[in-house]
Amino acid sequence: MKSQSTMGRAQLIYVVCAFALASVTFISSAQAQPDIFNAPKAVNPTNRAVGRQLTAEERVQQRLRRQLQLLGVNQTATQDVLLAYVDSETKARQAVTDKGRELQRVLTANVVSNAQVAALLNDYQAAIEEDKVRRVKAQQELIKAVDVTKIPKVEATLILMGVYGEGPALGNLTTNAGRGRNAGAALAPRGNNVAQGAPRGFGQVTPDPNSPKPTQPNIKPPVAKPAQI
């Protein structure tokens, strides 16, 4: 009887100890869980500086510089001189272009007399002659800084752009220096006929509304042959 009582007390002590151990383990695990309300915040990544958008003029300069490299001009100082010349010539010839466009505008509107057109035409031609003198001086200054006559690719490019010499400007300059069919188009101002001072749109032929329409050729459709069985 006494031994049974001793066993009962031992079992009771074992149960109490096991319960106490389980309680301690549960409390410890509960304390180990992070507090979601006081959890440390992650450090935000550093914001990258957003690059400044290039202006239209800067994009043109970048494109011209890249094309000059394709033409073999790799010295930055030489590129700077050529880019400054192109920019200066384009702006200087704008006055001639504006006079030409004004003449074109009044001719298109057809609301002025011949005398008024004659006055505008005289102004336009005078501006062209005056600009020729300025261009000769500008080209001489360019040759002193960069002798483009010794760099045929660059000289030809400037001529075809309409900013050097007396040739007409081409709106789509093609070279073999870059990729694609029109790799040199980046150097040619589109629609810019500054060499002759001609406004955009000159040289386009307007069809006469009273002219007879071209006749369609009389082509007879082929006759289908009967299928042979």
Bridge partners of residue 20, in order along the sequence: none
For position 138, what pLDDT does the model report?
95
Contact 161, 187 (CB under 8 A): yes
Q: What is the pLDDT of residues 61-94, one digit of tens each?
A: 889 999 999 999 999 999 999 999 999 998 998 9
Highest mean pLDDT among 8-17, 43-52, 112-121: 112-121
133 within some domain: yes
179 within some domain: yes
For position 226, what pLDDT does the model report?
57
132 is in which domain, residue-wise?
Answer: 75-187
174 within some domain: yes
21 within some domain: no
Taking residue 81's Cβ as centre, other Cβ atoms within 10 Å add up to: 17
Q: How far apart are CA 92 and CA 195, in angstroms?
A: 11
142 within some domain: yes
The total number of structural domains in the chain stands at 1
Q: What is the pTM of this model?
A: 0.53
199 within some domain: no
Percent of the chain at pLDDT > 90 equals 36
31 within some domain: no
Q: What is the pLDDT of residues 135-191, one digit of tens each?
A: 999 999 999 999 999 999 999 999 998 899 887 777 544 444 444 444 344 444 444
